[in-house]
Amino acid sequence: MERGEQLFAHHFFSFVESYVIVVYYFFSANEHKESTMANSLTKNEYNPADLKADFVKTYGGTESSVSVFSSPARINIIGEHIDYNGGKVFPAAINRYLFVAIRKRHDTKILYKSIQFEGTHQFDINDDFAYDKKDDYANYLNGILSQLKKKGYRFDCGFEVLMASNVPAGGGISSSSALECGFAYAVSETFGFNIDRVEIAKLGQMSEHKFMGVNCGIMDQFIISVGKEKTAIVLDCNTLEYSYAPLELGDYRFVVMNTNKQRRLADSKYNERRTQCEEALRILQDNGIKINALCQLTPAQWEDCRKFITDETIAKRARHCVYENQRVLDAVEALKSGDLAKLGSLLNQSHKSLDEDYEVTGIELNTLASASQKQEGCLGARMTGAGFGGCAIALVHKDKVDSFIENVQKEYTRVIGYAAGFFACESGNGVARFN
Ligand code: GLA
């Protein structure tokens, strides 16, 4: 989550006309540069075609001995903070990728390097891996190794890694899950473990829980592992059943907006929300309600049993979960029937609930959402991801994207005192071999 997103900060400008559009504004820049060529790279992005050559420059040897894997960022269209409450969520992978180049070694050493960050992190495959602040981004990788070893996967040698990221960071689009799942997939393929995509997602989630101390749900790792271009997935987090839904937005596009807020203490607030939901569930169960997750309740069932929860804060958290889950079902239907106005209105309702009942928005996300919702051509807007800063998304008519960004930027800067980030992308693919 946030820690990784900060680590993988990377600036770029890009615009690709497709189902999902995100437009990125740099702190200091008042203009955005567009490219209509799918998959074109801009001057600020790392070209992954260079990664093998850079690997050889770093570690020696030949390019043919190196493998490169890609791993996407994600947005969540709707269904926030309910993956850990057995709810349904509606995320999509986006075409901003992190790349992992890897090669086995002849000894037991492990070396990690990054194009974006100085220095080398060195370990040994026989180490007992444990979280250490000074290990920085290497913690995410060691977290995966420690999970793999716990599960009995055996390593006959060490390896060396060079990473590069075009995933903008600190924005709630899950650069850390991209890192965890991309690395897990790279290791699995390199060592012939052939771990399936759902297992890759679970490894990433377990690593967050056991190594990073964040009790996240499965949504981010899942979509990053199984995502497919031009689709979002409807994921039932209770059963892990999922299906692909075409992202058909007609003349509308998603604009994604980064608050550029430094997220402090977000992990502990996230864990606190999760604990409050567990408390709500326990109270309901103690009162004879036969559910094993909050999102099993329909809104009508909730209204019948809410009286059992007397603590107003706990009740608000539970109410958000129940209604948000219903909004996901409605949003999937709305998209299926091409009712984008309905989808937009559900986005607005979701944001309101995350603000008033779940209390994970804050002035930055609220300013982005309310400024967006006022703009001509915008059908709806909401925060996406964990909140406490991070990103919001807005559903905007393609001809209004420029004026939308200009106006929202103006309002955001006036209220918050610094600029928001906007970035452009299209839907993307889950973890894959790149070359
Ligand atoms: C973070 C977590 C996810 C999910 C979202 C909120 O991104 O990693 O599991 O809980 O927050 O919906």
**DSSP annotation string for 14-71:** ----SSB------TT-S------STT---TTS--GGGHHHHHHHHH-S-GGG-EEEEE
pLDDT for residue 168: 74
Average pLDDT, the chain: 89
Query: 1 CB less than 6 Å from ligand 1?
Result: yes
Hey, what CATH class is 256-425 in? alpha beta
pLDDT for residue 263: 73
Per-residue pLDDT tens digits for 324-341: 999 999 999 999 999 999
Q: What is the mean pLDDT of residues 109-134?
A: 96
Residue spans of the domains in the chain: they are: 44-246, 256-425
- Choosing from 54, 83, 220, 355, which is the catalytic residue? 220
Q: How confident is the model at residue 267 (pLDDT cuts 50, 70, 90)?
A: confident
Over 70: is that where the pLDDT of 11 sits? no
DSSP state of 295: G
Distance between alpha carbon 369 and the CA centroid of its chain, in Å?
19
Over 80: is that where the pLDDT of 190 sits? yes
Q: What is the mean pLDDT of residues 405-414?
A: 97
Per-residue pLDDT tens digits for 14-50: 222 233 333 333 222 222 232 222 233 454 789 999 9
Q: How far apart are CA 322 and CA 308, in angstroms?
A: 15
Contact 371, 411 (CB under 8 A): yes
| CA 350 / ligand 1 centre spacing (Å) | 15
Over 90: is that where the pLDDT of 95 sits? no
pTM: 0.90
Per-residue pLDDT tens digits for 191-201: 999 999 999 99
pLDDT for residue 170: 64
Q: Half-sphere exposure of residue 79, counting CA atoms within 13 Å on the CB side?
A: 31
Q: State the amino acid at position 313 in one-letter form.
A: T
Over 70: is that where the pLDDT of 427 sits? yes
Query: 277 CB less than 6 Å from ligand 1?
Result: no
Over 50: is that where the pLDDT of 13 sits? no
The least confident of 255-269, 338-352, 379-393, 414-428 is 255-269
Q: To which H or E segment does residue 290 belong?
A: none
Bridge-based pairing state of the strands 159-165 and 109-114: parallel
Query: 354 CB less than 6 Å from ligand 1?
Result: no
How many residues make up the chain in this entry? 435
Q: How far apart are CA 94 and CA 88, in angstroms?
A: 19
Residue 402 among the catalytic residues: no
Contact 123, 129 (CB under 8 A): yes
The least confident of 6-10, 39-43, 105-109 is 6-10
Q: Which of 75, 94, 220 to mutate to test the pocket of ligand 1 (most atoms within 8 A of CB)?
A: 220
Hey, what CATH class is 44-246 in? alpha beta
Over 80: is that where the pLDDT of 317 sits? yes
Name which residue leads in pLDDT, 161 or 173: 161
pLDDT for residue 256: 85
Q: What is the mean pLDDT of residues 132-147?
A: 97
Which backbone phi and psi does 97 adopt, to 5 degrees? -120, 155
pLDDT for residue 424: 61
| CA 323 / ligand 1 centre spacing (Å) | 17
